[in-house]
Each structure stands twice: as C-alpha cells, then as structure tokens.
Structure 1
Amino acid sequence: MPARHSLVWLSADGWQRAAQTAAAGNRAALERWQSHDWPAVLRRREPDTPEEQLCLGLALPPDANGDKARIPFQAQFGDVRRITDPLALRAALPHAPPAWSRALNAFAGDCLHSGIAMRIYGSWAWQVLTQQSYLTRTSDIDLLFTPGSTEEFRRGIALLAQHAARLPLDGEVVFADGQAVAWKECWQALQGDGGQQVLVKARSTVRLVPMAALVSTLESA
C-alpha cells in the first residue's frame, strides 16, 4: 500500500469517474487537473473505504483571502496510471523562493552530508508540480523524513531543530507502517524523560503512542 502524501497520476477514465462522483462545484478543478496531467495526493483513508479504492485529494491555490480549498475524492486502483514518492527536497531546490534559497541550500547540504533524505509536500510541492502560485509570506516548508534507524532519526531531528531557527520547517517523521508524527512533537518528546506520548497519524487512524514505542520500531528494523 502506498504511503500518505504519495503522488498519484490517474488515467483519463479515472479522472472522469472521479469528476462524476465529486461535488458539482469541484468538477471543473478535477477536469483542469486532468487536462494538465497533474497528480493527486494520497490522503488518510476514510472509514469503510473499500480496499480496492484510494482516498485522494488536491489543493487549489489560495484565493484573495489566503484560503486554500482542498478537494477530497476517491479512485479505483485500476484507474491509477502511476504512483511515485513525494518530491525530493534536492529536486525542488531550483524552485525555492529567494527568501528561502540560501538557508534552504545550507539545510539540504547538511542533510546530504549526514546521509539524511528529506521530501516535501504541501504548498511548496503543489507550486513545483503545477507551476501555480501557492506560497505566501506565512507558508511553511512541509517535510517528510523517513529514518531507517534510531541513529538516523536522532541525526535528522537534530538537523531539523538546528535549521528551524532560520527556516519555517514543518512536517512529519514517518515510522514503520506509515505511522507519521510531527517532527516538532518528536523533538519535544526527546527532550523529556522518555515517557511522552505523541500524536500518530496512521493509514486510517489518529491516536496517541509513546515516543519510545515508535523509536523501538526503528531499533528492530
């Protein structure tokens, strides 16, 4: 099963079926996505979703008030043409806004030197993928970090905390089975006595889990 935030390209029939089942006000946006061959994003599964269906979504650029409409919909696995991981941070660097560029390149360089892979999602990813204007002065840099070991997890969290002083770094750490936790929650939990719980977003649920239990999944990987 692909992970949350994966990029999903649908077939022409898939887009047409999605438009037919979507709210009337969203059909034009879905048709535009199809015409440009832009991807949708895999989101958390809704309750009682059949196994052969994916829960997808897309976000529109912010309007004049800064509000960004999000359009949820579903598609059949058979209507999927291609699925990829979210955009790699280094691939997105040429598209970084000038205000972020210098500090972001320094962060990406430190990640490369430390063997840490970061991916992006959210507004910046949508802007890179569609070449539409999503970013505002208050936008965050949404990152995905999937560590393969406890040591890599601690190195990556330390890098995020270090560079967050100069960049609006947000996003999630992804543990085993796609369990995702805000990196800032992880950082705060690591400063405690080890008994802290963190909010975990799983494939179809949201629940509190001890930080130590998540770290143990890395130790046993």
Structure 2
Amino acid sequence: MRPELLHWPRHGWVRLGEGWVGHLRSPLASAERAEVADWCAAGRPLVIARRRSEDGAGELRLGLAMPDKRRIGLHVRTEAVTGRLPPLPLAEAVDAAPAVWRPMLTDLARRAQELGTAAAVYGSLAWQQRTGLRYVRPESDIDLLFAPCGRRQLEGLLELLMAVGNDSPRLDGEILLPDGAAVAWRELAGRPARLLVKGATEVGLRDLASVLALFDREEAA
C-alpha cells in the first residue's frame, strides 16, 4: 500500500474547513455544493471513500450519505481537511443503535476484543452516531470492519460472525487484509476458490489460498 494511504483509511472520517470549495479536484454541481456547505457548516464529517487509479498524491475521495439515502461524492485535496477521525469503533456506536439491538452489539464488541481484533462499524449506524441524524431503519444491516492479526484471529472471528451474523440485525461488512485490501467477511467465510477483493484503488479477484497466506505470514512474522 502506498504510504500516504495509511493516513487516510477507507471508512475513516474527515471534517472540511471553510475553504474546501477551493480545494475541489473535480466539478461539483451547484446544488450539491450547497448541500455539502450546509453539512460542513453544521460540523458534520464526511467518510473517506476508495481512491481512483488516476488520483494523485494529496487527493481524497469523500462521500456524503444523506438520511434520505442520496449520495454525494467529493474529490478534494487533503488541504481541505481540518480534522480526521478513524473508522468508528463498534463500542462507541452501540448507544446510537435501536435499544433492542444494543445487548447483541455490546456482546459482539466484547467477544471480538477478547479475540484480539476490535470491531469497527461503517454504514448507516456509523452515520447515525457521527451526526445524530436518523439513518438506521428496522430493516438496516450492520456493516462491520475488522483487522485480524494472523490466521488464528481470523478463524476465531469468522466463527463468531457465523454464529451471530444471521439474526436481527443482519451483520455484514469487511475483513481488512494484512496488505490493506478488504474482503466481505461472508464471502471469506464461504471459502470460495476466488474472492472479490477491494484494494485501495481497484476491485479484483484473488485466489483464496493467496488471501489466507497473507494471514499465515503475518502470524509467523
């Protein structure tokens, strides 16, 4: 992974300063520009999205998800950023979840921590916690993010998720690979011969064996 990408992880969050318009790298429609301006003036963050292969150093792709499910994408220089936040820990998002979900999410966060791999969350629950606006609906899934260190942590985590992930709410999300790419945990748990892997700037197929070998090497290091 390019070193600068480590400082701007996908699913992380940023706040933009007053002069963010002057740092746009791609055009933004006037209506969308006005909505982003209002959003930033309220002190709300935007999420870091996947880069594109043509993006240069010092550029970011950001996303604004509105409560009505509309999406606005931004392409800015990093100079527009005045504050950064990491991906949201699940433990910090529990209070923003519907009350009936909270015991399960609290238990999941605890059990993941016991395995040595803390859970983060993105998607509707993360937006709800970060903004105080209503994003979560009764039918919403919970999008989780994990970064297990080594094969044993990975296998323990997948076993845990398979045991609890099909109840309500349904648990979806990604496993971060040691090289910084990501794969859907459900797909990895299914052990297909080929996996759809999301890299920093691209999405492609990899052999299951090569993905698992990354965790084996990390554990042996």
Q: If the length of structure 1 is used for normalisation, what is the TM-score? A: 0.88
**How far apart are 1:149 and its partner, in Å?**
0.9
| 1:139-158 pair list within 5 angstroms | 139-158=140-159
Q: Structure 1 residues 19, 95: CA separation in 2 closer, same or farther (over 3 Å shift)?
A: farther
Equivalent AA in structure 2 for residue 182 of structure 1? A
What is the Cα deviation at residue 73 of structure 1? 0.8
Shift of 1:17: 4.2
Tell me, which stretches of 5 or more residues in structure 2 are unaligned?
none
- Aligned-residue CA RMSD in angstroms? 1.9
Tell whether the 8 Å contact from 2:61 to 2:73 is kept in structure 1 after alignment.
yes
Following TM superposition, the consecutive aligned residue runs of length 4 or more in structure 1 with deviations greater than 3 angstroms are 15-21
Give the deviation of 1:15 after TM superposition: 5.0
Equivalent in the alignment of 1:220: 217
One-letter code aligned to 1:213: S
Is 1:33 aligned to 2:39, yes or no? yes
Residue 8 of structure 1 corresponds to which residue in structure 2?
14
Seen in structure 2, the aligned counterparts of structure 1 residues 50 and 161 have a Cα distance that, compared at 3 Å, is same
Where does structure 1 lack aligned partners over 5 or more consecutive residues?
63-67
> What aligned pairs does 1:156-167 form with structure 2 within 5 A after superposition?
156-166=157-167, 167=169
**SS of residue matched to 2:34:** helix
2:128 aligns with: 127
Could you list the per-position Cα deviations for residues 142-201 of structure 1 after superposition, in whole angstroms to 9, with x for gaps in the alignment? 000111111111111111111113231000001123211100001001xx6xxx111001
Shift of 1:105: 2.0
Shift in CA distance, 20/53, structure 1 to aligned 2, threshold 3 Å: closer
Distance in 2, matches of 1:218 and 1:58, equals: 33
Report if the CA contact (8 A) 1:15-1:30 is conserved. Answer: no
Q: Is the 8 A contact 2:116 2:148 kept in 1?
A: no
Aligned pairs for 1:23-172 (under 5 A) are 23-62=29-68, 68-166=69-167, 167-172=169-174
2:171 maps to a residue whose letter is L
Give the direction of change, closer, same or farther, for the CA distance of 1:13–1:86 in structure 2 (3 Å limit): same
Instruction: For residue 42 of structure 1, report the CA deviation from its aligned partner.
Output: 1.1
* Percent pairwise identity: 32
1:20 and 1:27 in contact (8 A); partners too: no
Whole-Å Cα distance in 1 between the matches of residues 26 and 198 of structure 2? 30
Is the contact between residue 19 and residue 31 of structure 1 (CA under 8 Å) also seen in structure 2? no
Superposition TM-score, scaled by structure 2 size: 0.88
Distance 1:20 1:212, change over 3 A: closer
Task: Name the counterpart of 2:200.
Answer: 203
* 2:25/2:77 contact within 8 Å kept: no
Question: Which digits, 9 at most, give the CA deviation of each residue in 1:62-89, with x for residues without a partner?
Answer: 2xxxxx1111111112222222221100
Name whichever of 174-183 and 97-106 sits farther off: 97-106
Aligned length: 211
